[in-house]
Amino acid sequence: MLVYATAQDFADYTKAPAPADIDGDLERASERIDELLLCAVYRVGGDGSPADAKERKAITRATCAQAAWSRAVGDPYGVASAFGTVKIGSVQLERVGGGATSPPRYAQDAVSILRTAGLLPGYVIDGPYW
């Protein structure tokens, strides 16, 4: 699996020192970016990374945006999109369902960065459906 950003990339993006535990967040963010890029068409190098420097930079920035957003909302594993209520003391998990809307899985900044770079072929529908 490719990890699209480093701790230094994250620090450059956020204009703050990267947290000591950022590597795991960047790995998970890279997985979310892979989901967004599923139908994207772009050239890759021998290791599978984007060949074009502009596209590579956009994917790195989107990965950093996704990691920063995941940290900010406190949901690095995306469990909030599956559960409406999570209670740790006496463990209470309540499934989101019915007419309830689930929280988004993707950072809107990450989606915007990829769309602006021409890497998303359409629109990402995440969260409440119309």
Tens digit of pLDDT for each residue in 41-83? 899 999 989 999 999 999 999 999 999 999 988 876 666 655 5
Q: Whole-model pTM?
A: 0.78
Domain assignment present for residue 1? The answer is no
Query: Can you give the residue range of the structural domain that contains 90?
Result: 7-98+106-116
Number of separate domains in the chain: 1
Domain assignment present for residue 76? The answer is yes
* Of 6-10, 106-110, 119-123, the least confident: 119-123
Domain assignment present for residue 11? The answer is yes
Is pLDDT above 70 for 88? Answer: no
- pLDDT > 70: percent of the chain: 74
First-to-last C-alpha distance (Å) of the chain? 34
Domain assignment present for residue 52? The answer is yes
Q: What per-residue confidence (pLDDT) applies to 104?
A: 78
Is pLDDT above 70 for 84? Answer: no
Q: What per-residue confidence (pLDDT) applies to 94?
A: 62
51 token code pair: 């060949």
Domain assignment present for residue 45? The answer is yes
Mean pLDDT within 99-108:
72
Domain assignment present for residue 129? The answer is no
Higher pLDDT, 21 or 84: 21
CA distance 14 to 68: 8
Domain assignment present for residue 79? The answer is yes
CA distance 66 to 106: 7
Domain assignment present for residue 124? The answer is no
Q: What is the pLDDT of the chain when averaged over all its residues?
A: 84
Higher pLDDT, 25 or 77: 25
